Amino acid sequence: MCPASRAPNYDVWSNAEPTIDVDVLMPNGILITVNVMKEITFFEIKELVHKIIFEEKCQKEPLFGALHDKQTYVFTYVDMSSSEQQELDDEEVRLCDVCPFLALLRLIEKKGDKAALQLDAQIGLLIGKNLKEFDSLKNPEVNDFRFKMRTYAEEVAQQREQKTWIEKMIYQFPIGIDFSRELPVYLKERLNKCSDIAIKLRFENSSLCQDLYIKYDSQPEEIIEIGLDTDPEAYGSANAYLLKLNGRLEYLLGNYQLIQYKPIREMIVNEETPYLVGVLISIDDEPIYSIPEMPRNRSQSVLSITGTTRRRNQVISSWTIERKLVIHIKSAQRIVNSDNTRVVIMCGLFHGGDPLCDHQMSSPITPNESGDGQWEEDIILDIKICDITRMARLCFSVVAIGNNSKKAKAKQTPISWANTTIFDFKNILKTGSITLSMWDFENVVEDTELELFNPLGTVVPNPNVDQTTCLTITFNKYSDGETQITFPSMSDLLKQTALNKSITDGIDENEVMDETPTHSRNTRHASKQFVEQIKEICDRDLLHKITEQERELLWFLREDCRNLLPHSLNKLLISFKWNNHKRVAQVLSFLQEWPKLVPEKALELLDYAYADCWVRKFAIECLKGITDEELSLYLLQLVQALKYESYMYCDLVHFLLERAYNNQRIGHSLFWLLRSEMHVPAVSVTFGLILEAYCRGAMDHMQILVRQTEALSKLKRVNEMIRDDKSKESRDKRIVLMQDIIGRKYYEESLLHIINPLNPIYKLGSIRINKCKFMDSKMKPLWLVFKNEDEDASDTYLIFKNGDDLRQDMLTLQMIRIMDKLWKDEGLDFRMNAYRCISTDHNVGLIEVVLNADTIANIQKEKAVSAIAAFKKESLLSWLKDHNPTEESINKSIEEFTLSCAGYCVATYILGVADRHNDNIMVTKNGQLFHIDFGHILGKFKEKFGIRRERVPFVLTNDFVYVITHGQKPERSDDFIRFQQYCEQAFMIIRKRGSFIISLFAMMLSTGIPELSSVKDLDYLRETLVLDLNEEQARNHFKSNAEEELEDIVELVVKDLDYLRETLVLDLNEEQARNHFKSKFTEALKKSWKTSLNWWAHSMAKDNKMAD
């Protein structure tokens, strides 16, 4: 792109032609000429110029990276009448109305747009990153992303403005609807064979609160009519009201049966009476959904762009380049090498986590005193350019070696690593020199040479450039002149497939072909035997290794996989080698015809193992039909999956923003999941850009989020003042001091009338200062109590934590919710209480307080002398009887306890939840048992003096069994047999989805959670789920020999102190898996006395009773 060469025409506006050539001087000094209608608006000229810059492959022009979003620029021109330079304020003005001198325009950066600057500042404060930092990067990919996202956000905001008020209500106050009219078994049982539901109903213009019995299939309008007929104070017609759940920001929107609304179902199951409020509809009071600077309607004034300034670079396909990949290693600076040993640069090419070719190593050198080293050496990787995939990553590591041999494996010590893509974000093969600021290895790895790389790490450079190792490399050039090499488009891929239909598969076709003579030799069709073999391969979990023969079989029978076993796609792709472009073309073209996958399988395609952008696009297409409730359930994994994307703009980003723009609750969760990781350098730019895009497309929600961040900031300051207080004052006096601080106007106003960040269905009113306190643990969490905005609604109790990492708790609680959903889908409600927990910043977050509950430790102390409390089995049942005095109520509470105990026994066993003592297991007054504090998972059991403290698969103590059996001996109790059956049912249901559970954990490997940092950590799940056993074996493993060992539950004889470690038996069926679970159940029973002993020691070491 070069300056225009045409001679100046001083009388350019005198001719009668409808079109004109306009020169636009860009901020980076490039002159662009466009041929347009004279009646075009300046807004349209700006849109056209921006399109040329960002969409016409002009990235190679000088200072391209210095260009920002179009909204930051304004036109200037020379006025012909005054001969003075003017700045154009109104971009809706037509070009012919201004007639700039020489038809010359200049774009300059805005200086006086105060509203835009204020908005940028507000967004920056909200997301924790000044937006000017994005500008300072001068990164073309960042600028391109911001342009696309801003355009998209404006379109979304404009569309929202055009929606009806009810559509806006659905966006802001979405409510869960079960569209199936068939009631689940557990809900039918709660209805007690009666079609009437007890509700409370009050109209906002009436003081009367009515107790009514309504048929469960009644619709909201029918309920309103009944209420109006029986309330003399209420007035108006039924269609003038909307039913709202009292105390919650949830409205019964739409014409559905009462029982179809999920909040109503939840209340019935929890034996709560739904309290409905008839709210008068006032359309005039609806919120304003708009943002400044809405996009204008484009006219058809743009004709064409002249060729004088548009120099289109020639492009060729990378699939035509048969030369091998060559990377030139130039130098490295600031190598941290304390041992003064020699170092090498290791280079590998990866697709996902798999190498595409053998890695290579540079010559060893000894860096100078400053840590600088010069190589000037070519590294040739054994792969042709044509076989490099679109999402291939070039991975480097600086490695210290201990002797002269390059193969000195034992003494290789990784120092730092960096990754970069081969193709840029515009599909162009990279050329020229770049400097990579590297990341330090957190742990020394010595297992294999491949583990000296970090292919799953970010491709983002380390922002701490001045203090990290910097590696300078040069990409070789494979074309002449200005010709660019691009990766083929999908249409090119499909053409390539047509040209390469047959590929040698390495399997004798006669071996697997069905011998039925009616089948053509040109159509492959597997015999039943091989279909069963494929099914067996595909039913394995993702950690199960696939043999080379099985890989070849899956590839050879790929058409049968598609037609007969669509869920086999994941296994087919994972077994496929991505280093042959002809096969890649076949796979991706095959993908276009593949049936849509169920969400569980589609989610798996977004983890680190599936790097290809077309595969991930297919996964997103499969997820588009997922409900908002399901999306919320898996949002934690989807946000983490963003870390596996190689480019900022991708289908996953668009999908998440699209759903967030259409449902404010999704937007709320997405915002905090992204915001809580803004301190992580590797994702702060990408996550910050997504947050900026969300804020610009949801201005109304942004104001709510601003209030929440202000409140959290104030709470953090209060917590820090309490922690920093070194006075010798008593705890009670320090609580008074805390309450005094919260009561100050500066703090109290920030905590008033905000949407609950932990659960946005609640709006917090004023804070009940006299009920607030801090807790005794090291970080002094704040115990907070808020009034509800609605009258007659319960208070909201929260725990604010500052200094504790809540991400592992969030993950564990999410997995418990997923298990609960899987059980409910099978008609089983185990009364799980997965309380809410949210991380809002680095080591900052909120936890829901479960009311009317106490810890097992406190219950035991209340009912027995402290020294023997942990061994007194009657304590828990006695406590439940105190709170459930009637026979009916105590039987209900025991049933609640039995169900919830079964659910948590299985959940904590599968997840390997450790550090279980009587202070992190709680029971509600109605009998629900639940676990808290998930600091150790996946079998990371705590040890003391090298001895593992916990020796049971899960917690099933004698006092738990005493409650379940109503005080009888378990071997004589039908209730205990039923409890055991519940456990087995729960285990087998989760086990059937074992591969899905493992894949969800695999997607979380990028979180940085210490106990989930490598694929090896997932092996624990394979062991507990015994996925190599069949159903019957798995059940029996959990239960075997239970009858013979039941008597051991009450014995306190110290015997069998050696914990029998489970060994993994390969290639076993479901019966063996069942047996495995049965054996674990027996083990928990047999060794429950050891749990009691641990609890006794815990109780003796610490007074756990916290003052109310």
* Secondary structure string (H, E, C) spanning 615-661: HHHHHHHHHCCCCHHHHHHHHHHHHHHHHHCCCCCCHHHHHHHHHHH
Question: 315-486 and 846-1101: same fold?
Answer: no
Q: Hey, what long-range contacts does 529-535 have (CB within 8 A, 24 or more apart)?
A: 530/557, 530/560, 531/560, 531/564, 531/565, 534/560, 534/561, 534/565, 534/568, 535/565, 535/568
The 10s digit of each residue's pLDDT in 815-847 is 999 999 999 999 899 999 999 999 999 999 999
Per-residue pLDDT tens for 872-901? 678 899 999 999 999 999 999 999 999 999
Encode 710-761 in three state secondary structure. Answer: HHHHHHHHHHHHHHHCCCCCCHHHHHHHHHHHHHCHHHHHHHCCEECCCCCC
Which CATH entry fits the domain spanning 315-486: 2.60.40.10, 3.90.180.10, 3.60.21.10, 2.60.40.150? 2.60.40.150
Question: Residue 665: in which H helix or E strand, if any?
Answer: helix 664-675
Average pLDDT on 480-489 reads 89
CATH class of the domain at 508-593: mainly alpha
Fold exhibited by the domain 596-697: 1.25.40
Query: Is domain 846-1101 in CATH 1.10.1070.11, yes or no?
Result: yes
8 Å CB contact between 987 and 1010: no
Does the pLDDT of residue 57 top 90, yes or no? no
Token digits for 887?
A: 């026979």
Q: Is the pLDDT of residue 1099 over 80?
A: no
Distance CA 889, CA 883 (A): 9
CA distance 1056 to 841: 46
How would residue 1070 be classed by pLDDT, with cut points 50, 70 and 90? low
Pairing of strands 19-25, 844-848: unpaired
* Type of residue found at 21: D
Q: Delimit the domains of the chain by residue range.
A: 19-155, 172-285, 315-486, 508-593, 596-697, 702-845, 846-1101
Judge whether 514 and 526 are in contact, CB under 8 Å. Answer: yes
What is the distance between the alpha carbons of residues 639 and 1000, in angstroms, rounded to a whole number?
A: 12
Owner of token pair 């796979």: 587
Task: Decide if 1028 contacts 1067 (C-beta within 8 A).
Answer: yes
Query: At residue 187, does pLDDT exceed 70?
Result: yes
Average of per-residue pLDDT values in the chain: 83
Print burial letters for 383-415: b (CB count within 10 Å at least 16), e (below 16).
bbbbbbbbbbbbbbbbbbbeeeeeeeeeebbbb
Per-residue pLDDT band for 784 (boundaries 50, 70, 90) equals very high
What are the pLDDT digits (tens) for 74-127? 888 888 777 788 888 778 888 888 888 888 888 887 765 678 888 999 999 999
884 and 893 in contact (C-beta within 8 Å)?
yes
Higher per-residue confidence, 902 vs 401: 902
pLDDT of residue 89: 75
Q: Which CATH class is domain 702-845?
A: alpha beta
pLDDT of amino acid 1040: 52
What topology does CATH give the domain 19-155? Ubiquitin-like (UB roll) (3.10.20)
**285 or 148, which is more confident:** 148
How high is the pLDDT of residue 519? 38
Bridge partners (DSSP) of residue 754 are 764
Distances (CA, A) of 598 to 602, 603, 625, 759: 6, 9, 10, 29
Answer whether residue 795 shows pLDDT above 80. yes
**What's the CATH fold of domain 172-285?**
Ubiquitin-like (UB roll) (3.10.20)
